[in-house]
């Protein structure tokens, strides 16, 4: 059996890029929760555009667009039935007595890791574009029923 795992070197995101991703993600989830749209099917999805790298699939004019990836927000958070606009830790975190800060750290660690994988072939983070969506759709590849999104350029 042959291993088809690409040969790449992980490049850790800079502190500035981590802060930008954190701020953007928090804004999206706060908006989603504030609109009362946080459900068990809600997920955070992202696309990564890497400039100057061509691939046979998923290409765009300036490089390649990584396939979308997502995490289920309900693995980390739940809405408060008495105050639906407030995010609170998911049940598994509550069962372990963990704080909201711990939940954010776990979610963002997962997100940073996935972005680092997708940007590993780039010589620099400069020019890499990250687009994030938070919302609901019937399945990951279906039409959005409700979504908030934001696009940022890493530097």
HSE of 144, CA atoms in CB hemisphere, 13 A? 11
pLDDT higher than threshold 60 for residue 153: yes
The CA distances from residue 108 to 52, 62, 131, in Å, are 27, 27, 15
pLDDT at 62: 52
How far are the Cα atoms of 3, 81, 141 from residue 110, in angstroms, in the given order? Answer: 24, 27, 21
pLDDT (tens digit, 9 = 90+) per residue, 85-111? Answer: 788 999 999 999 999 999 999 999 999
Domain locations in the chain as residue ranges: 17-147
How far does Cα 152 stand from its chain's mean position? 12
For residue 99, give the DSSP letter: -
pLDDT of residue 51 exceeding 70, the answer is yes
Per residue in 55-82, pLDDT (tens digit) is: 544 445 555 445 557 888 989 998 777 7
For the chain, what is the mean pLDDT? 81
């Amino acid at each position: 059996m042959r291993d088809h795992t690409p040969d790449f070197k992980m490049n850790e995101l800079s502190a500035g890029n981590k802060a930008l991703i954190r701020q953007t993600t928090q804004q999206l989830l706060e908006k989603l929760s504030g609109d009362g749209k946080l459900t068990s099917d809600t997920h955070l999805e992202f696309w990564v555009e890497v400039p100057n790298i061509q691939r046979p699939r998923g290409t765009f004019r300036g490089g390649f667009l990584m396939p979308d990836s997502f995490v289920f927000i309900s693995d980390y958070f739940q809405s408060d039935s008495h105050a639906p606009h407030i995010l609170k830790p998911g049940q598994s975190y509550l069962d372990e007595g963990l704080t909201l800060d711990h939940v954010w750290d776990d979610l963002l660690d997962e997100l940073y890791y996935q972005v680092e994988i997708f940007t590993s072939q780039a010589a620099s983070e400069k020019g890499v574009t990250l687009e994030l969506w938070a919302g609901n759709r019937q399945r990951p590849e279906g039409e959005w029923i409700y979504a908030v999104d934001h696009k940022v350029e890493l530097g």
